[in-house]
Amino acid sequence: MYKFCRFVVLLSLVAFMNLESRAELNNSFMMKDLAGKEHHLSDYHGKWVLVNYWATWCPPCLDEIPDLVSLHENKKSKDLVVLGVAVDYKSEIEVRNFVDDMLISYPVILGNSKIYSQYGAPEILPTTYLYNPQGKLVKVKRGQISKQYIEQLMKSNESGLIK
């Protein structure tokens, strides 16, 4: 039993490292939002890019959406782009209705096999990737985030505290 548990832990660690490296290697991602607009990381050179995986049924995801909307509204023309990736949904219309109900103003992408091939499917929801203005992945956060948390990460990275 001990050997089996060690194997499962090792397998989980390898999967985690693979997800991290795929996100780093695919920092030239391409995603198409619900409006049909394509988003490439290279389009946002000079801006922070926050990619947030979420689901309509996920309570922590719902809790963080107002902060993500606030970040987007306050920083979209300055230094931050927010992109939401909806996962584990029944239909596109379900996601569109949810986006309307929650007043989500940032671009929302439907998670699919093409998106997952770039990053891997998230194991925990929500999961957030934060890229610095040079396009380098500086943080992967599993679990709920806040506006203050993201602003602190941005400030810390500018000070050279995050590598």
Class in CATH terms, 2-158: alpha beta
Render pLDDT for 82-97 as a digit per residue (tens, 0 to 9): 999 999 999 999 999 9
Domain ranges of the chain: 2-158
The tokens for 60 are 């922590």
What one-letter code names the amino acid at 37? K
Render pLDDT for 19-75 as a digit per residue (tens, 0 to 9): 444 444 345 688 999 999 999 988 999 999 999 999 999 999 999 999 999 999 999
pLDDT confidence of residue 27: 56
DSSP reduced 3-state for 150: helix
Contact (Cβ atoms closer than 8 angstroms) between residue 108 and residue 78: no
C-alpha to C-alpha distance for 124 and 88, rounded to whole angstroms: 12
What is the phi-psi region of residue 59: left when phi exceeds 0, alpha when psi lies from -120 to 50, beta otherwise?
Answer: alpha
